[in-house]
Amino acid sequence: MFLGLDLGTSGLRVLLAGEDGLPLASVSADYGVSHPHPGWSEQDPRLWLEALDTCMAALGADHDLRGVRGIGVSGHMHGAVLLDAVGAVIRPCILWNDTRSFAEAAVLDAMEDVRALSGNIVFPGFTAPKLLWVKAQEPEAFARVAKVVLPAGYMNFHLTGRAFADMSDSAGTSWLDTGARDWSAQLLQAGGMRADQMPDLVEGCEVGGTLRGDLALRWGMSDKVVVVGGAGDNAAAACGTGAMGEGQGFVSLGTSGVLLTGRDGYAPLAESAVHTFCHAVPSKWYQMGVILAATDSLNWLAQVTGEGPAALSGALEAPIAGPGAVRFLPYLSGERTPHNDSHIRGAFLNLSVGTDRAALTQAVMEGVAFALRDCAEAIRATGADLGGLLAIGGGSASRFWLETIATVLDLPLSRPEAGDFGAALGAARLAMVGAGAGSVDEVMTRPRIAETIEPRADLSAAYADAYAAYRATYPAIKDLSR
């Protein structure tokens, strides 16, 4: 058996998979996030370890874990866990959605060759600017830093006693030469860091260490359980859905929205705000566009109207009949791809006395679809062939929404059969490969498809015109949002 640990922002999920790679059981435990100041987002890593103990106790109560051969960890990316010389945590982890280091990010991003080496814009949520902030604002803490690890890397350190990280997670630090898949001396120097402060690098499916004896004893497991490099959350989700190479990808309708595709080569285009990261397996990369409010936009509308998100979406039944008159910009928390604009805010346009709740809901769904089209166009500009995409995440339950997105993207969307194919499964699959249970091609397979939703050819021109109007709106209103 194999364990996949998915260390999320709001909770930990532990999945147990059998030798065939199919899930046997999963348990989860929640924890909170601290926001001590506006724009700050922190978490005490002890919460992750307490959640792990809770999950392992629950899993061990119902399953004999002596057959576990490998563990993989998926984690939310970009977080900065600072360790001192004895491996103790110096301060709370600064999370991916913390924006305090926006000024430091801008300085790094303007430096020569930073984008060229990292393959990405330096966003405020990335790891490198966080350390520059700590250096300036908490110099005593910075002076104690012996290692900087990401959340998944900290879990690896806890499990094995060794500081190591995989390529996919490390690519989000702005310290990694993403094309060469190694720490960059130039990027480290730009960020005021040293190579000895970095964890060892391994591929996500490569063994990085062995489970600590005391943990193995506590959990009723062998002392020969291997722990692989693991992955950042989106790379792990790609492993769980089999999105490994060209033409394999997914649209994720979660709190944020992600359009991700695997790449067989390295083809960054940083100025488009497309993320270009190493994949979790050797010689592969992936690219993704990110919008910051997908189902979050629908959740916001639900809060404002007093109607639940499921009721709002359920009121719109497929088939779609064409774009609505009301336009919505889903920039409730700013936007990532393609604008890289943390100041822009959302808007409704073309409201009238006849606008009802259903029209607002349709506008929200269309606005998210148009934002995902922005991501698709940015990714296509790198030379990627998107092909058909899987549709995953909570929002994919709405056929109306999926038919809208398929038509706006002019791509078929396939909805998988009910099952588990997320980041936890991807982490377990990486453990399978690392433990010798199969090759990447044998293990990282696509899920069974329940249905494929084709674009509506009869409505493609109407949605293309609506998208053009949507695209023209951002430059017209961006200064009004300041």
Q: How far is CA 335 from CA 84, 172, 415, in A?
A: 35, 18, 26
Query: What is the phi/psi pair of residue 300, to 5°?
Result: -65, -45
Cβ–Cβ under 8 Å, residues 390 and 338? no
Selection from 39, 168, 174 nearest residue 94 by Cα: 39
Distance (Å, rounded) from C-alpha 280 to C-alpha 283?
A: 9
Q: Which residue has the tokens 């990110």?
A: 290
- Alpha carbons 191 and 339: distance in angstroms, whole number: 24
Q: In terms of DSSP bridges, do strands 249-253 and 327-329 run parallel, antiparallel, or are they unpaired?
A: unpaired
Decide: 152 and 7 in contact? Cβ < 8 Å: yes
Residue whose token pair is 């194919």: 421
Please say whether the beta carbons of 203 and 229 come within 8 A: yes
91: phi then psi, degrees, rounded to nearest 5: -150, 165
Could you give the CA distance from residue 146 to residue 298 in angstroms, rounded to a whole number? 43
> In three state form, how does the secondary structure of 238-257 look?
HHHHCCCCCCCEEEEECCCE
Residues 6+ apart with CB under 8 A from 445: 21, 242
Indicate which residue of 98, 169, 233, 296 is catalytic: 233
CA separation for the pair 454, 317 (Å, rounded): 16
Strand partners, 94: 42, 80
Catalytic (active site) residue 44? no
* CA 143 from centre of chain: 31
- Packing angle between helix 151-160 and helix 45-62, nearest 10 degrees? 60
Are 98 and 39 contacting, i.e. CB atoms less than 8 angstroms apart? Answer: yes
3-state DSSP assignment of residue 481: helix
Q: Where are the beta strands (DSSP E) in 285-408?
A: 285-291, 327-329, 347-349, 389-392
Active site residues: 233
